[in-house]
Amino acid sequence: MALPNRRNRRTAVMLAGVVAGMAAMAYAAVPLYQLFCQVTGYGGTTQTAIAAPGPVGERLVTVRFNADASGGLPWRFRPLQREVVVRVGEETLAFYEARNEAEHAITGTATFNVTPHKAGPYFDKIDCFCFERQALAPGERAEMPVSFFIDPAILDDPNLSDVKTITLSYTFFEAETDEEDDDAAAPKPRQTSALETGRGTVN
């Protein structure tokens, strides 16, 4: 009877090793997949840029804004404008708002994409709250800016000639915290930022 038991244990160990190996491969694949999406715009992943080239041509695109918080994150998260109409190549500033409704500090991280997905390679962000984790103290509300433009190269892509509306979506998830995040989320005096005073750039 000892021999079958040893075989069963060996089989269990092998299966556990296979499962662990598959999990490790899946974990390692995530950064590679993210890099692939960033380079190609696959899945509606947006691009980044240093500056906008300025308005090009007369084509207008309506950009709509969407916001979600994952089920385990007690934040109220919403766009402060429903949509804006922009010219291709024109830099535009928009705002989202997040409020921590928990009784403890929470740090969040935002994922993002645009639809239709084929517009991803032509949607460029200059600056965005999603580039860094956001820490909020209990009850704290924060306005979060995103600066973007539509790449003029979209005008040369016949596959995008039918795109008149692009939806920019964000989803916040809770992130692991460290001491630096805790310090950032500590209660602090209310200050008016330059971004707040410049908020009127979007209708």
CA distance 132 to 134: 6
As a whole number, the mean pLDDT across the chain is 78
CA distance 49 to 44: 16
Provide the whole-model pTM: 0.67
| Contact call for residues 7 and 15 (beta carbons, < 8 A) | no
CA 107 to chain centre: 14
Catalogue the E-assigned strands of the chain: 47-48, 60-69, 75-79, 83-87, 92-100, 106-115, 123-128, 134-136, 141-150, 165-174
Is pLDDT of 176 > 70?
Answer: yes
Q: What is the pLDDT of residue 16?
A: 58
Is pLDDT of 23 > 80?
Answer: no
Per residue in 2-18, pLDDT tens? 555 565 566 555 565 55
Q: What is the largest CA-CA distance in the chain?
A: 82
Nearest to 136 by CA among 147, 144, 128: 144
Could you give the count of Cα atoms lying within 13 Å of 126 in the half-sphere of its Cβ? 17
The most confident of 25-29, 56-60, 132-136, by mean pLDDT: 132-136
For the residues 39-51, what does the mean pLDDT come to? 59
* Residue partners of 61: CB distance under 8 A and separation at least 6: 85, 86, 87, 88, 150, 163, 164, 165, 166
Ranges 28-42, 131-145, 164-178: which has the least confidence: 28-42
Is pLDDT of 162 > 80?
Answer: yes
Per residue in 73-89, pLDDT tens? 999 999 999 999 999 99
Strands 60-69 and 165-174 turn out to be parallel
Q: Where are the domains of the chain?
A: 2-40, 44-201
Fold of 44-201: Ctag/Cox11 (Pfam 04442) (2.60.370)
For the residues 156-179, what does the mean pLDDT come to? 91
Instruction: Provide φ and ψ at 146, rounded to 5°.
Output: -140, 130
| Contact call for residues 165 and 84 (beta carbons, < 8 A) | no
For the residues 166-183, what does the mean pLDDT come to? 80
For the residues 136-142, what does the mean pLDDT come to? 98
Q: What is the pLDDT of residue 157?
A: 97
Q: For 23, left (φ over 0), alpha (ψ -120 to 50), or beta? A: alpha
Q: What is the pLDDT of residue 55?
A: 86
Q: For 92, left (φ over 0), alpha (ψ -120 to 50), or beta? A: beta
